[in-house]
Amino acid sequence: MLTKKQTNRKENNRRYIPTTRFPTLIISIPFLPFPSIMAISLGVGIVLGVYIAVMGFVFWFCVIADPETSPTARLIAHTLPNEFMKLAGKLVGQRGVKVIEAIMERLLAIIYLTVIIGCFSLLWWYGYPKARASTHIPNYHLTIGYIVVVFALFTWRKTMTTRYVPGFLMSMLES
């Protein structure tokens, strides 16, 4: 038999709505078979909204936008870099521009390697032990993960050492 204190605690748990320092947006989902209330603090909602907006713009710019038809994509992909290089040419000369381009190319390679190897090392350090312990993930998935990373690094190295310009394969396919 439940005591009065346990009964009150049980009833209070049913009506629990998380509280934060920020105002909350309470969302009720009426079509679910169980009572559901989701509370999102205003701060989390703003951060989530900004993140979705930025990622949406990045996705649009990187995947959908064509610099030949979109003025925003043309500005970001062509106009701003060209204006930056013109300004750098005036400040440091043509030889300085070549040095800046070489540094930017190497810096991009370092950033790429840091992201790829860093993400895989996090997966290897935290994810693989949990995957090995899981009964739902077959062990061949771990082997496939190693193969995918090695293949990605191999193709990246191959493209960095070839003399072909970007778009070479597409130009071959179009002709």
Question: Could you report the per-residue pLDDT of 53-79, keeping only the tens digit for each?
Answer: 999 888 877 777 777 887 878 888 889
Q: Where are the chain's structural domains?
A: 21-64, 94-164
pTM: 0.50
Burial of 87 (0-12, 13-18, 19+ CB in 10 A): exposed
DSSP H/E element including 131 = helix 128-133
| Residues making up the chain, counted from first to last | 175
Q: What confidence tens digit (pLDDT) does each residue in 132-157 have?
A: 888 888 888 889 989 999 998 888 88
CA 2 to chain CA centroid, nearest Å? 50
Name the token pair of 22. 């920020």
